[in-house]
Amino acid sequence: MVGHEHFDELARGLATNRLSRRQILTGLGAGLLASFAEQFLPRQMREAVAAQTSPRCDSPEVADCIDDAADDLKSGIKRCHFSLLACLKGGGYGCVLSETGYLGCLDNAREDFIRKVQKVCARKGACQVGQLCCNGSCVDQDRNNCGACGRICPTGAVCKSGQFGLGKCVCPSGTSECGDTCCPTGRCCGSICCPNDQECCNGSCKDTKGDDPQNCGSCGNVCPSGKCELGVCQDPGCDQPCGQCETCEAVPDSVGGTIFACVPIPDAKPCGDACISCPEGQAPDANCECQPECQVTCNAPQVLNPDTCQCECPISCPEGQVPDANCECHECPSGLTYCGGECVDTLSDPNNCGSCGHVCPGNKICGSNGTWGGPGYCTCPDGRQVPCSEDSPLCCETYTHDDFGNTSGKSCCRADGSGFCCPQGQACAGMGTANPVCCTVGADHFCWTPDGTGGMCCPKCEGVYNRCNTPTGLGCLPCP
């Protein structure tokens, strides 16, 4: 029913007895209903119908007909108003909500108004409800004529019926009208829809995270240097590119101002294409890693090699000779061997063990560990360990082999060209074959396979000293 929303408060007051009859009459006397009846409805109805007219929709006859219908509506609303006052004064109930009450009276007045417009005024050229009179012709409302002739809805919006049949442009949820399009909420800047990566700055879309020196980082943030990068104001920079270990900084000029110039980075030194700054007492090595500075002092004619922190002679000697402390060339003394430009002891040098260039693998030493190895042999550094082979970095612990009551057992199980360590309490059977195995000391006899290509464990039998097939030792003898 037309106008109900404007009287909800009055209706709820009557229905719940929150308003006394005196309060209601006072409110009516103050013009609450009269203002709506005499001003709101006639004006809105008249404007709506005036916009809805047919081939002669803009003729004076149509306008006069609508004026007459509006006058009748005004009179009907006044009658409803006075009837309500009389009902309330008489103490009646249902003065507002009943079919014969105030709201029902307003409905009847509205229906009479619409009936006259659609029947009487239509014969004079008025348009049907929901149409518009555009250039003397009735047209249906759509996106190009929504609520008024020529009113075009923004891109993305639809035209929906509004109050009294007048169309209204409606944008999808989460957007609002912005110029000629529907823009995500909060992105409209005047009549322009800003992209997500821009902000509205004084009616214009600006990329504050780019290189705009007038809006650097935020709207209106002006960079004094005139340079902005990624939303951050930059120093004006130096006129010429700085060197490898230099930086562009602001320095005082001769007249008390500031200029930008290339200045050395404190304690920094070039290293390849990089620039390294090491802590005090350190310097970059050949790999551009900070190492303690060399404190060696060389006696002439030797000079310091900063990469190795060693004193060297600035000469080249003939093949087989090396320079002495006075930088004079001589052959190697007795007991030393010439290897790669230096004299070494091949009996103890792990980089030239036994011969020039023979490097001991892993952490092995060259010589004897007190138990294994000897001069010029790569062995394990711990006397409790045994090397699986000279050229293998593997070192295994040694254990007692009590099969025969001696200490010849070893935890290393060496195969052809490789090896592995047996767990504690086990030793190797078939050492040096293609398929050695680890057997349990004290529980197994250590034998060879019948074909002699590997080791095998023969569990001990009670009363049997050796289960290996003697005298060849191949395979296991049966238990008695």
Determine, yes or no, domain membership for 283: no
Q: 456 and 359, same structural domain?
A: no
Q: 375 and 422, same structural domain?
A: no
Determine, yes or no, domain membership for 182: no
Amino acid at 445: H
Using the 3D structure, point to which of 375, 395, 415 is the last residue of a domain: 395
- Residue 29 is predicted with a pLDDT of 31
State the Cα–Cα distance between residues 25 and 5, nearest whole angstrom: 20
**Closest residue by Cα to residue 195 from 203, 204, 205:** 205
Q: 365 and 471, same structural domain?
A: no
pLDDT at residue 283 greater than cutoff 50 = yes
Q: Give the Cβ contact number of residue 229 at 10 Å.
A: 12
Amino acid at 33: L
- Residue 9 is predicted with a pLDDT of 46
Q: Contact 475/447 with Cβ under 8 angstroms? A: yes
Q: 468 and 406, same structural domain?
A: yes
Average pLDDT value for residue range 407-411:
52
State the Cα–Cα distance between residues 344 and 351, nearest whole angstrom: 9
Using the 3D structure, point to which of 98, 115, 134 is the last residue of a domain: 134
Task: Between 256 and 476, name the one with better pLDDT.
Answer: 476
* DSSP for 89-103, written as a single string: HTT-S-TTTSTTSHH
Phi/psi of residue 352, nearest 5 degrees: -145, 65
Q: 353 and 381, same structural domain?
A: yes
Query: Is the omega angle on the peptide bond into residue 301 within 30 degrees of 0, that is, cis?
Result: yes
User: What domain count does the chain have?
Assistant: 3
- Residue 15 is predicted with a pLDDT of 43
Going 318 to 319 to 321 to 322, the CA torsion angle's sign is: positive
CA 445 to chain centre: 65
Q: 410 and 361, same structural domain?
A: no
Average pLDDT value for residue range 363-389:
78
Q: 107 and 27, same structural domain?
A: yes
> Which of 1-5, 151-155, 240-244, 393-397 is the most confident on average?
151-155
Q: 440 and 345, same structural domain?
A: no
Q: 474 and 410, same structural domain?
A: yes
Q: 36 and 107, same structural domain?
A: yes
Q: Which domain holds residue 430?
A: 399-480
Determine, yes or no, domain membership for 215: no
Q: 118 and 57, same structural domain?
A: yes
Determine, yes or no, domain membership for 372: yes
The CB-side HSE value for 145 (13 A sphere, CA atoms) comes to 15
pLDDT at residue 392 greater than cutoff 80 = no
Determine, yes or no, domain membership for 463: yes
- Residue 175 pairs in a beta bridge with 184
Mean pLDDT, the chain, whole residue set: 77
Q: Which of 41-45, 143-147, 195-199, 313-317 has the lowest mean pLDDT?
A: 41-45
pLDDT-derived band at 189 (thresholds 50, 70, 90) equals very high
Q: 429 and 453, same structural domain?
A: yes
The CB-side HSE value for 214 (13 A sphere, CA atoms) comes to 5
Determine, yes or no, domain membership for 457: yes
User: What's the whole-model pTM score?
Assistant: 0.34
pLDDT at residue 390 greater than cutoff 80 = no
Using the 3D structure, point to which of 81, 102, 134 is the last residue of a domain: 134
Determine, yes or no, domain membership for 130: yes
Report angle CA 380, 384, 389 to the nearest 5 degrees: 40
State the Cα–Cα distance between residues 263 and 57, nearest whole angstrom: 85
State the Cα–Cα distance between residues 477 and 467, nearest whole angstrom: 5
Determine, yes or no, domain membership for 471: yes
The CB-side HSE value for 96 (13 A sphere, CA atoms) comes to 20
pLDDT at residue 211 greater than cutoff 70 = yes
The CB-side HSE value for 100 (13 A sphere, CA atoms) comes to 4
